A and B are shown apart, each in its own frame.
Chain A
Amino acid sequence: MRWLVRKAWTLVAVYFAYMLEYRGEIFFWMLSGITPFFFMSAWTAAANQGLTGYDANDYARYFFAVFVARQLGIVWAHWNMSEDVRSGRFSFRLLQPLDPVWHYLADHVGERGVRLPMLAVVGLVFAWLYPEALVWPGAERAALGLVAVGLAFGVNFFASYVVGLLALWLEDATSIYNLWYVAMLFFSGMLAPLALYPDPVRQVLAWTPFPHLVYLPAAIWSGLEADATRGLLTLLAWNLFFFTLGRLLWHLGRRHYSAMGA
């Protein structure tokens, strides 16, 4: 247990230092994720004309929560894997008595350490621009939203890792992950609150991971309609699914790996 903690702490600390070297890049990456604010403008304009069921502050609050949930859920394990396989670095990972997935996970956690302070600055700017929109949801909802974000990160990470494992067959699997992103864009609540979607669509989507990745935490934080229990259980189930699929592909892919370029 002592060594487990030491390994985890060392990996996160070193990858945090690594990510600090790329703080500028992370800042611009974060800025590239401001899509929710464009949709916020469109929906608040519609709300001001009385065209929707929510008011302008509801939309501002919701899309800010979407932005935060999305920023905390961003993953790139598929890119890590593909790059490692292509460059031959994956062979070094295999030589260590540690599953390579821990390196990728630590890379993500370390990056969050750099991203969070920047996110706080964006939050302050938002609070200055939309003071009426920011309402403290209460400790319970805030915590519940964080749990949802944590589980959503898990689903995103394991799905990304599963796609990355395909690099053991294909050498580069980064493009495949774009499919996941497209599905997330349309079905996760990034374009509009899912409460506005037709009922049959919502019922089908509820079984997929997508609405729970962004809409669930954003709705919990911003006070919109959300079935938190069902959402969290669904996220948990998808975590288990992608984790298991990842282990299976790991064992199959290892047989296929040719250590190209190493």
Chain B
Amino acid sequence: MAEALGPAVRAHNLRKVYRVAEKEPGFADTLRHFVRRRYREVEAVRGVSFVIEPGEIVGFLGANGAGKTTTLKMLTGLIYPSGGELEVLGHVPYRREAAFLRQITLVMGNKQQLIWDLPVLDSLRINAAVYEIDPAEARRRTRAFAELLEIEDILTQPVRKLSLGQRMKAELMASLFHLPRLLFLDEPTLGLDVNAQAAVRRFLRDYRERYGATILLTSHYMADIEALAERVLVIHRGALLYDGGLGGLVERFAPFKEVRLELAAPAEPAELAGFGEVAEASGRRVRLLVTKEGLTRTVAELLSRFEVRDLSVTEPPLEDVIARVFSEGRV
């Protein structure tokens, strides 16, 4: 794989505005809509700027409708931006130059490129021809990927007969068959069981190590982000809220620690409210979110007020932090 000369992705003030037809329910409004359509402009991405260097694995976080997928569509050249500048591997994506398309891939966890009624190998044959991969090399890659993904025995089965996990692995294989340098992964583990999720993450890590690929990953499973990403971009309502390390995200958006207690006797939530935000209080088990500044004092007060069997202080789960960012939309 050739070395990239500049950043893998450079987006500056990237914007996308969709024109959406609006219609109220009811017969009269249906007729009105037919005669004169009303449109509304929706700004899906609002002036997003970031740079991704070659070899980075970046997590792209955001609630549903935040603008993640629209951004990915612009980065892969599927749609034209409404404004801003965009350069991916030195190319303007929407021009769809062959040299650009040969170096990228997009995996969509909820969509499939494999031909439903034919064996996986037939879809790979098409990809090998389209990406001009020599037959001997295609056979070698088929063996190597199948071994890594542990799907050697399903390649001759029609795609429709495969389980969701097997299908996703086969999708990954087809998407990476041309050894792209830049991977856009949109929910690659969506709907998979824990074992299949782990296998996909392992494969992606191996691929990145072996080929030095750059990865931009969206996922609702924080385990994916924690296992793969060193850096995250957080997008909310089309605007970029955060660009930095995972640790920094917790630091910035969760200025509190999680205190877990096991009490000798059950306590009422009202008794605990004064010590911090009660995240959970079920009988003797309690989970409190306490500000970092008041942590020492609060722990001392808890120990003096209650008979405590066990106590631990940790960073709050990333899911909680992200949920808090999205619900509050804080910058």
Residues on A facing B (Cβ under 8 Å): 3, 6-7, 9-11, 13-14, 17-18, 21-22, 87-89, 91-92, 94-98, 254-255, 257-259, 261-262
CB pair A11 B115 closer than 8 Å = no
Q: Which 6 A-B pairs have the closest CB atoms?
A: A10-B129, A97-B98, A92-B113, A97-B101, A259-B78, A21-B117
Interface hit among B118-126, B203-211, B230-238, B323-331:
B118-126
- CB atoms of A18 and B118 under 8 A apart: yes
Contact A94 B96 (CB under 8 A): yes
Does B218 touch A at the CB level, under 8 Å? no
A257 touches B78 (CB 8 A): yes
Interface of B with A (CB < 8 Å)?
A: 18, 69, 73, 76-80, 94, 96, 98, 101-102, 104-106, 108, 111, 113, 115, 117-118, 122-123, 125-132
Residues of B within 8 A of A87 (CB): 111
Task: Kindly provide the distance from the CB of A185 to the nearest chain B CB, expressed in whole angstroms.
Answer: 28
Cα of A3 to Cα of B131 in the assembled complex, Å:
9
CB distance from A27 to the nearest CB of B (A): 17
> How would you classify the secondary structure of chain A's contact residues: helix, strand, loop or mixed?
helix
What is the minimal beta-carbon distance from B3 to any residue of chain A, in angstroms?
21
Asked if B129 and A6 sit within 8 Å, CB to CB, the answer is yes
> Are A7 and B18 in touch, CB under 8 angstroms?
no
Are B108 and A88 interface neighbours, CB within 8 A? yes
**Residues in B whose Cβ lies below 8 Å from that of A255:** 80
Task: Report B-chain residues with C-beta under 8 Å of the C-beta of A97.
Answer: 96, 98, 101-102, 130-131
Selected from A91, A94, A258, the residue in CB contact (under 8 A) with B111 is A91
Residues of A within 8 A of B98 (CB): 97
Contacts of B113 in A (CB 8 A): 89, 92
The minimal Cβ–Cβ distance linking B193 to chain A, given in whole angstroms, is: 24
**What is the distance, in angstroms, from A256's C-beta to the closest C-beta of chain B?**
9
**Inter-chain pairs besides A3-B129, A6-B129, A96-B130, 9 sampled, C-beta below 8 Å:** A7-B129, A7-B130, A14-B115, A17-B118, A18-B115, A21-B117, A89-B111, A95-B104, A97-B96
A254 to B73, CA, bound (A): 13
